[in-house]
Structures are given as C-alpha cells and as structure tokens.
Structure 1
C-alpha cells in the first residue's frame, strides 16, 4: 500500500511539474509575440479602428476621455492579438499534455479537433471584422440623431470589438462542440435534427445575449451559428461511436 501511495504521489507530482512547464511555455510564447508586436501597437489599433473610421461622418474622430488611454489601449489590444496569434501553440501544448492519457482512437479524434477549433476561432474573428463591423458601424452612424456628433472613445471601442471577437470566435466553435457531444454519446445527429426548430430559436436568443442591442449584430451572429450547427451535425455523423449505433440497432431489433 505504501509503495502504491508513493507511486501515485510521484506520478501526480510529475504531472504537476509537466503542467507547470507547459504553462510557462505558453506564457513565454505570448510574451515573445507581444514584445515583437509592441513597436507596432499604434498601427495595430489603427487597423482595428478602420471599420469605424471609414463610416464616421466627415469631421468626426475618435477621442480619448482618459489621460492614459492613448497609451494603454493600443498595448491592451496588442496583448490580446498576441494571445490570438499564439493560439495554435497553446493548443499544441494542451494536446501534448493530454495525449499520453488518450487511446489511439481518441488521439485520432482530438488532434483534428484541436486544429479545427483554432481555424474556426480565427474564422469567427475574421467574419466579425470584415462582415459584421462594417455593417454594424454603418448602421450606428446612420441612426445618430441630428445634431449629435459621433466621437467614440478609443477604450470603449476596444472593449466593444473585443467582446464581439470573443462572441463570434466562441460561436464558431459550435461544430466542435456538436462532434464531441455525439462522439461521447451524449446525443446523436438524429436527435439534434429533431430539435432543429428549438436550435433556430436558441441561436437568436444567444445572438441577442452575446451581441450589442442591435438587430444587425444579432442576426449576423445567429445565422452563422445555425449554419455551423448544420455543419456540425453533418460531420458528427462520421464521428459517432459505432458501438452506440450498434446498441441502438440492437434495441430497435429487440423492440420489433
């Protein structure tokens, strides 16, 4: 018993040491990218502000209501960009940590899911920047009351767009979540298809909760979520456990 306890304790200690080393590697990768991009912090913020600046009325500009915001806002954005850029390496470290404890069939599933999740997250961010922002900001600018000068604070704008980035990035992970639920046996593609009407209502509710209170942002998030749901159901059909399908077929045969 003592030897087993010592073996378990040493194994746990080794896992904790490995976890610490991988977390340090993640932090160092983010720090290195941040240091490399820090010189271009102002340019990065300028690029982020383009969708708003292009639709603002003539004579309008962005403003800084806080004394330190012209300095801190660009560097805050650069830090977030560094985390986004390091995401593939972060996912690789996660994969390297959990891979030894997985079976071979689980490794064949998890590896492409980690790769696909990063692509989908980047896709959500790109969709928000190139599609949603121009439409939403043009709408906001057009509905401003007469006599009201549009002058958006740079810190408020940064917080606003980062929320949308995270919302769209997370929403685009729907296919990954569906595949995992079906593969683990939590549900099946057939059951998800039966619940399609509820899903359509649900994605519009989620779009309302995750986006600013305007119909454009809500719709532009809800429709891709619904399409991604359909895509996830299609791909989940290939990842469904064969054993689960066999059990369902056997149950149906017994009922007959």
Structure 2
C-alpha cells in the first residue's frame, strides 16, 4: 500500500495505516507461534518446566553462592516437592495454544517494534529519526534482557518459594498447569516490559513530560514504588525482593542519564536553530 505524506493523511488514513501495521505484526506473532507450537517438547520440557527441576542453573548458582558465603542452603535442592496437573478436558491443549502465542510474541518482539516504529517515524523530524536510529535494537535488547532476568531469576525464586510453601503437612501441592504457566509467563513478560523503562523515559523526555530534575527529585518516591513493584512480582521474602530491586534501581539511574542526554541534545538543537 503506497503511503501518503504524513501531513496529507487524514485521521481515517492514520487508522488504516495503523491497522496494516497491526495486521503485519499479528501475522509475525502467529507464524513464530506456529513454530513454537511444533517445537512443543522443547518449549515445555526444556523451557517452561526447566525451573521445576532441581538441577536448574539458577538453583545450582544460588546453592554455590550460599555455600561460599556460609548462608542458608535452601536453594540446594534435588527435587521440588510438587506435581503439575491438568484438571480440565481441554487444559493441556489450551495451555499449548496460548503458550505458543506468547512465545511468538516474545520472539517476534523486534519485528513488532519495527512495525510500531514504521508507524510513528513519519511523524518525526529528520533529526529526531537520526537520534533514534538504534531504537529497535536497544529496545529489543532491553526486552530480551528483562525476559532472561524474569526466566532465570524471578521464575525460579517464585516457584521455589510458592511451590514448597505449606500451611500443614496434610496439604499436598498439586499445581494446576495453567497456574504454573501463568507464574512463569507473568515473571517473564513483566520483567521484559519493566526493562523498557529507559526507552519510556527517553520518549517522555522528548515530549517534555519528564526531566532529569524531576527524576532526581522523586527518587525516594520511586524507590518506594520499586519496592512495592518488587513485592508484587516476587515471592514475599526479603532476598527475592532485593534481587529484583537492584536491577530496577540501576535502570532508573540509567534513565536519569538518558533523560539528561536528551535535554542536552534538545538544547544544542535549539542553539543551532537560533544561530541560523
């Protein structure tokens, strides 16, 4: 579909353009999700159920760290004492479909961003497009870093705590398949999106809603919000919350640096325009 010039496009033209970008992004997710559907054994046995196994790399790492520091060896486990069950007729098939779709979204994320960028970039000035050339690469890198953090840190922390917690020896943990997958999926997707904070701050600074001074002024309030957020996406123990809080605080400080960089760039551009 031949594109009109941005300034000549009506509101309905913009909606039509957006519709085609969404269609192409959806097709990419479906195609990649189809590949994930075929690779069922790898997706479920190796990835989804990886944090359920006692020899998962995260448990072995924390076990070694605990032994080195002489701390509690609760992560030195051979097997997690719970079973996963499906209690509905279509439970396993439904889990297979939706897990494939979410896998398609995660793996096709760079292309989804590319379509998003193609939609908004015509509305930017040439110098703004130049300054944001690395948008897709950086945003995708941050997203995948968040996904890996969620999978290798948040998921095993949550599963190890919640699946082994007992109110009484009389109660056995037989975890529903959907509940287990939801825990892994929520950990992975939420961390992937949280790691996009520097990108969000970049655009908020560009449009004037956020400044470095604002971010520094409300740093303490942000710390409280981060702690609350960490408590939501992690099990209720201090160690897990600290592990999650550290990278989020680092991202916040990086966002301040990015915001300061954007302000400086805008000041240079304004100065250059005044000289002309």
TM-score by length of 2: 0.75
Who is 2:128 aligned against? 106
Number of equivalences: 240
The range that moved more, 76-85 or 203-212, is 203-212
Instruction: Determine whether 1:130 maps to 2:129.
Output: no
Alpha-carbon distance change, 109 to 231 in structure 1, aligned in 2, over 3 angstroms: same
User: Are positions 1:31 and 2:53 aligned together?
Assistant: no
1:1-256 mapped onto 2 (5 Å cutoff)? 11-46=10-45, 47-54=47-54, 57=79, 60-144=82-166, 145-211=168-234, 213-243=236-266
CA RMSD, Structure 1 to Structure 2 (Å): 2.8
Query: 1:53 deviation in Å?
Result: 3.4
Residue 58 of structure 2 corresponds to which residue in structure 1?
Answer: none
Partner of 2:64: none
CA contact (8 A) 2:227 2:245 kept: yes
Structure 1: which 5+ residue stretches go unaligned?
1-7, 248-256
CA deviation map 1:119-151 (0-9, x unaligned): 211111100111222233223344334343332
Q: Secondary structure at the match of 1:62?
A: strand
- When you count helix as a share of all residues, which structure comes out higher? 1
Local SS of the residue matching 1:185: coil
In structure 2, the gaps of 5 or more residues are 1-6, 55-76, 271-276
Cα separation, 1, equivalents of 2:221 and 2:207: 22
Inter-partner Cα distance in structure 1 for 2:85 and 2:78: 13
Q: Deviations over 1:95-125 (max 9, x none)?
A: 1122222101221233323332222111111
Q: Separation in 2 of the partners of 1:224 and 1:94?
A: 27
> Aligned-pair distance for 1:80?
0.4
Q: Deviations over 1:174-204 (max 9, x none)?
A: 1112222333332322332232222211211
Cα shift at 1:12: 4.4
- Secondary structure of 2:39's aligned partner: helix
- Please report how far the alpha carbon of residue 24 of structure 1 lies from its aligned counterpart in structure 2 after TM superposition: 2.1
- The SS at the match of 1:107 is helix
